[in-house]
């Protein structure tokens, strides 16, 4: 990375990339890669599919760079390209049934394995009942450990909205699991 490029804002680099500057595009992608991969991974839940979605988003970035409004921040626009790519990927491939809860592979008690499998299916069903926004915020905060401020910046919403949606998703998960299996409800924090 050249010092000259390192001093430019994302928006400056996006303008240069739209004008055909490949070095600016390379710098922009190097800066944004970890964030957009994380966004895709949260959305699709599978590293290979996340890489596919990011690649598709980057193709869109190159193709539609001239659509970027330089008076607005670049990162939210790029994150939206990634989200759109994730949606398109699901449409093309269909949703996969990867488990939200991993079962222990070495458990030799068949009864326990069946109980764990039933519990995992209940947790997954409860999680699937949440809205896409609730799932995304819950995963980023609970699974990835992101702060409300980080998630708010990624999604272009306020931190208080993130906290409210997180609270609503925890409450919905807990109530759904409580109705089906009180022991499972203990897995979900109330606050």
Tell me, rounded to whole angstroms, the distance of Cα 70 from its chain centroid: 25
> pLDDT tens digits, residue range 146-165?
889 988 887 889 999 999 99
Residues 92, 78: contact at Cβ < 8 Å? no
Torsion sign (Cα): 32, 37, 38, 43: positive
> pLDDT tens digits, residue range 59-99?
888 888 778 887 888 888 888 888 888 888 877 775 444 44
Structural fold of domain 3-93: Rna Polymerase Sigma Factor; Chain: A (1.10.1740)
According to CATH, where is 1.10.10.10 located in the chain? Answer: 110-185
> pLDDT tens digits, residue range 1-35?
455 787 888 888 888 888 888 898 889 888 988 88
- 3-state SS, residue 17: helix
- Count of helix runs (H) and strand runs (E) in the chain: 10, 0
The helix, strand and coil proportions of the chain, stated in percent and rounded to the nearest 5, come to: 75, 0, 25
Task: State the pLDDT at residue 97.
Answer: 44
**DSSP-assigned letters across all residues of 50-79:** HHHHHHHHHHHHHHTGGG--TTS-HHHHHH
CATH of domain 110-185: 1.10.10.10
According to CATH, where is 1.10.1740.10 located in the chain? Answer: 3-93
């Amino acid at each position: 990375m050249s010092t000259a490029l390192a001093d430019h804002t994302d928006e400056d680099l996006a303008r240069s990339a739209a004008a055909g500057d490949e070095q600016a595009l390379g710098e922009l992608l190097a800066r944004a890669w970890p964030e957009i991969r994380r966004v895709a991974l949260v959305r699709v839940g599978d590293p290979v599919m996340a890489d596919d979605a990011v690649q598709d988003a980057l193709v869109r970035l190159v193709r539609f760079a001239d659509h970027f409004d330089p008076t607005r921040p670049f990162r939210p626009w790029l994150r939206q390209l990634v989200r759109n790519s994730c949606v398109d990927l699901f449409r093309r491939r269909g949703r996969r049934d990867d488990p939200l809860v991993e079962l222990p592979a070495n458990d030799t008690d068949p009864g326990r394995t069946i109980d764990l499998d039933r519990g995992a299916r209940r947790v997954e069903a409860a999680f699937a009942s949440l809205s896409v926004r609730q799932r995304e915020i819950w995963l980023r905060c609970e699974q990835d450990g992101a702060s409300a401020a980080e998630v708010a910046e990624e999604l272009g919403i306020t931190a208080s909205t993130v906290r409210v949606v997180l609270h609503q998703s925890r409450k919905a998960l807990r109530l759904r699991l409580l109705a089906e299996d009180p022991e499972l409800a203990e897995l979900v924090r109330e606050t």
